[in-house]
Homo-oligomer: A and B are copies of this chain.
């Protein structure tokens, strides 16, 4: 077999069975190898940000990597923003990036660039294939690296001649390392602080600590110690809903987050670091935890959160029953003109058991997030790296990973424009995704941030740079132009009917919610 076939077969043998692809000429042998490898699904994206964001969503839901197929340095460049988000999420992703044949590079043909240089800023690991035989080995190493708990971004650069040269063979799947464990001393310190530390106390959770199994252990600790459970602001995957352990949420804006945390004397962090302000603002602090509080780092994002929480619960001799458990909730949805609150109320009511919510709703979605806490059990995925344009691709990947679960993408209009091409992939693959576009005709967050960074009396030119109403974007037309049936709604009643209809049918739909 040629190098490309050996590489793809190796990945398949490792358990990788989805390729999100946007190929070009230099990747044709990789396309052919995907074609020939039984059980390797190919999903085409019409822009690389769709491809990498889909790999992130897939990784978050499957807990194993998909492989992306990208076209040289510029194609990888187009995928960097969502690789940044994936890296911040701790998602497992393997990138295969084509490059010119080794003997062609020095000619500096038009598409030549420093592919490794483009890869490094958003990859945890970069490896250039050294030969057609080495390419398969690089694939096995990439898999092991991508699977490093909870997941890493592993990028393999594939010179075209290594892909097309015969005489290679697949290599065996590597042994993947077990998750790193938090040090015993950290467990002991956390248990001691939560048991005997000054109150109020909080157990602050992020990364894999927001999965259901870890939350049960966190809930046992809360039951034993009275510590409050708080989730990081942007969670890669938070398993929540009625009957699961209830977790509070740290607000986004720094001053609100600081006020939220001010009362705590003891803070224990698991799966994440102590929170900092998303941006810097003149005269405002970056560090949000209260001065003088006892801070204990139980486990980082890269240490086993479940094991750490289980160990602390055992050390505390915590009760078997977790608490607090989230009650089912319902909210009245104000009829008439649609609002973010009425969207939240209807979502809470209609969200199906097992739903996956890809949330990049920015200013519009806070209500929905809060009001769905007591909805049927679901997974809530957020924008981990702050680079907008993640939500639609993430929904693509989640739907590929979990074909039997309904995916709901909640998206601001500004962010959705970056990777609107994801709608086409939803239509092509007939993915079971319902997209809700919050159409407020604005980068609404920036209207707030403009004041917060101290800009006084912004003029018309400044405000125009935050405004999406001139011209207004018609998301119903965009969606139907890419093959996804769409409807525009203006009232709570119309939204409820549209959402109910979308949830009652398999396949992609878009609801343009006019705010």
Cα(A234)–Cα(B110), bound, Å: 9
Cβ contact within 8 Å between A120 and B122: no
Give the Cβ gap from A272 to chain B, nearest Cβ, in Å.
11
Cα(A450)–Cα(B31), bound, Å: 9
- Given A34-B461, A277-B109, A481-B478; A453-B42 close (CB under 8 Å): no
Give the Cβ gap from A54 to chain B, nearest Cβ, in Å.
14
Size class of the A contact interface (CB-based, 8 Å): 35 or more
Cβ contact within 8 Å between A84 and B80: no
**Inter-chain contacts of A461 with B (CB < 8 A):** 34-35, 42
Contact sample, A vs B, 5 pairs, CB 8 Å cutoff: A25-B279, A118-B118, A161-B280, A473-B483, A477-B481
Among A80, A385, A461, the one with the most B-chain Cβ atoms within 10 Å of its Cβ is A461
- The reply to whether the CB of A366 lies closer than 8 angstroms to some CB of chain B is no
Give the Cβ gap from A440 to chain B, nearest Cβ, in Å.
14
- The reply to whether the CB of A117 lies closer than 8 angstroms to some CB of chain B is yes
- The reply to whether the CB of A311 lies closer than 8 angstroms to some CB of chain B is no
Which residue on B lies nearest to A89, using beta carbons? B110
Cα(A111)–Cα(B482), bound, Å: 31
- The reply to whether the CB of A167 lies closer than 8 angstroms to some CB of chain B is no
Cβ contact within 8 Å between A276 and B482: no
**Inter-chain contacts of A332 with B (CB < 8 A):** none
Contact of A450 among B32, B276, B384, B476 (CB under 8 A): B32
Say how many copies of this protein the assembly contains: 2
Cα(A103)–Cα(B282), bound, Å: 11
- The reply to whether the CB of A36 lies closer than 8 angstroms to some CB of chain B is yes
Starting from the known contacts A109-B276, A420-B420, 12 additional A-B residue pairs (CB-CB under 8 Å) come to A34-B465, A46-B414, A47-B418, A74-B84, A78-B78, A107-B276, A107-B277, A109-B279, A109-B286, A110-B384, A473-B481, A477-B481
List of 3 A-B pairs having minimum Cβ-Cβ separation, nearest first: A471-B483, A77-B80, A477-B481
- The reply to whether the CB of A417 lies closer than 8 angstroms to some CB of chain B is yes
- The reply to whether the CB of A262 lies closer than 8 angstroms to some CB of chain B is no
Cβ contact within 8 Å between A23 and B417: no
Contact of A31 among B25, B73, B462 (CB under 8 A): B462
Cα(A282)–Cα(B159), bound, Å: 12
- Given A78-B80, A449-B25, A481-B481; A164-B418 close (CB under 8 Å): no
Cα(A287)–Cα(B74), bound, Å: 23
- The reply to whether the CB of A475 lies closer than 8 angstroms to some CB of chain B is yes
Cβ contact within 8 Å between A110 and B88: yes
Cα(A421)–Cα(B84), bound, Å: 22
Encoded as 1 (CB less than 8 Å from any B CB) or 0, chain A from 346 to 377 comes to 00000000000000000000000000000000
